[in-house]
Amino acid sequence: MKNLVVGAGFSGATIARKIAEELGQKVVVIDEKSHIGGNSYDYRDKNGIMIHKFGSHIFHTSLEPVWQFISQFTSFNTYMHKVIAIIDGVETNIPFNFKTLYDVFPHTLARRLEEKLLAKFEYNKKVPILEFQKQEDEDLKFLANYVYEKVFLHYTTKQWGVDPNEVDGAVTARVPVYLSCDPRYFQDKYQGIPLNGYTETIKNMLDHPNIEVRLNTKYQDISETFDRTFYTGPIDEFFNFEFGELPYRSVNFKFEEYDKEYYQSNACVNYPCNYDFTRIHEYKYYLDDKSDKTVIAKEYSEFFERGKNERYYPIPNEESALLYAKYLEKAKTLKNVYFLGRLGDYKYYDMDKAIARALELFEKIKGE
């Protein structure tokens, strides 16, 4: 059996490896980009710094099968991601937690708020910001309004280009108030950065006698016949936008090099209320790269426009859900064509969830 996989990111590489290794079948992996890795693509620059070209990627998972699978192709360091935000000119941790409370408020006020929070909520609980706003106590109402404006409102508006009330709850739930002293952004059991980088990891995944990789190749360029197709590209593009174009947010990264060891105090610093960019990434922190110079990227959010920028985040709302449902119904009429990945499923996936989705799909099709 001959298989075509469209897209050489984590979704495509995972399904390709499983088919090649466990089923012993031939797989052709194509990608229209000039490199493998999709948006996880990274490379070492002239200063020896590992650059994440499409924004910071931190691997984190609590899914044991995913960790066991990816660990075959790389070793990880023990980096645990923390995010700093500038709130009222103060550098502090987000999500907003008990440490943040004492960083931005006078001690007596912070203590009073902490006691009320512990009386109201379970410790170590994450409360979505819009749910957290539903307070009756005057002090907690003040805190909810403060966090909403200083952490959520302006950042979300910059990131999504709409009023936060128009943003889907699945997105707003990713910006919680965290009733904890844990400063980490993720609490998963397994966290880290591949010691050899993401590109090398995916290269190892695709390194199999049954796998052939073709770059700079569009799906439309393929004239051969395949028994099965696994499509990780945009589902609306596959059907020539028959029902209309699915909306995405894109990101523009402006890279800057500085003749100093470090530019900022942390790998990722968010600017919720200041400037037009949402955050600044400084890459040398991830693998503790040593250099007299440093490279940063300022991240600007913008709407996706075909031919101008890349698709990053599906925009989850009622209108896009209805549009995607039409494409999904049409996809079900196709035989031996499978859609997966962030673009194929029109769903926001962290890297581990993209791998998990591909592993689940493999289990489904391996007996066919």
Q: Which domains are delineated in the chain?
A: 2-78+196-244+315-365 (3.40.50.720), 83-178 (no CATH)
Backbone angles phi, psi at 142, to 5 degrees: -60, -45
What is the average per-residue pLDDT within 349-365?
97
Nearest to 234 by CA among 356, 323, 103: 323
- Residues in the chain, overall count: 368
Alpha-carbon distance 352 to 45, whole Å?
26
Cis ω on the peptide bond leading into residue 128 (within 30° of 0)? no
Strands 59-61 and 176-178: unpaired
E-strand ranges in the chain read 2-6, 26-30, 42-44, 50-52, 59-61, 83-87, 90-94, 126-128, 176-178, 190-192, 211-214, 228-231, 248-258, 268-270, 279-282, 294-303, 313-314, 337-339
pLDDT in tens, 207-239: 999 999 999 999 999 999 999 999 999 999 999
Helices (H) and strands (E) in the chain, counts: 13, 18
Backbone angles phi, psi at 252, to 5 degrees: -115, 120
- pLDDT-derived band at 255 (thresholds 50, 70, 90) equals very high
Q: What share of the chain is helix, strand, coil (3-state, %, to 5)?
A: 35, 20, 40
Residue 210, number of CB atoms within 10 A of its CB: 16
Q: What is the DSSP letter of 149?
A: I
Per-residue b/e over 55-91, b at no fewer than 16 CB within 10 Å?
ebbbbbbebeebbebbeebbebeebbbbbbbbbeeee
The proportion of the chain whose per-residue pLDDT surpasses 70, expressed as a percent, equals 98
pTM assigned to the model: 0.93
- pLDDT-derived band at 366 (thresholds 50, 70, 90) equals confident
Q: Which helix (H) or strand (E) holds 172?
A: helix 169-172
| pLDDT score at 169 | 64
- Measure Cα distances from 91 to 135, 224, 227 in Å: 27, 56, 55
Q: Is 109 helix (H, G, I), strand (E, B) or coil?
A: helix
Contact (CB, 8 A) for 41 and 63: no
Backbone angles phi, psi at 192, to 5 degrees: 160, 180
pLDDT in tens, 38-87: 999 999 999 999 999 999 999 999 999 999 999 999 999 999 999 999 99
| pLDDT score at 339 | 98
Contact (CB, 8 A) for 131 and 176: no
Contact (CB, 8 A) for 188 and 64: no
- Measure Cα distances from 63 to 67, 77, 179 in Å: 6, 18, 24
Q: Which helix (H) or strand (E) holds 99?
A: helix 98-104
pLDDT at position 102 over 80: yes
pLDDT at position 332 over 90: yes
C-beta pairs of 285-291 under 8 Å, 24+ apart in sequence = 285/79, 286/50, 286/52, 286/56, 286/58, 286/79, 286/193, 287/50, 287/77, 287/79, 287/193, 287/195, 287/197, 288/77, 289/48, 289/49, 289/50, 290/48, 291/47, 291/48, 291/49, 291/261
Nearest to 11 by CA among 197, 224, 205: 205
| pLDDT score at 368 | 73
| Residue 84 token pair | 């700093």
pLDDT in tens, 1-35: 899 999 999 999 999 999 999 999 999 999 999 99
Alpha-carbon distance 343 to 201, whole Å?
21
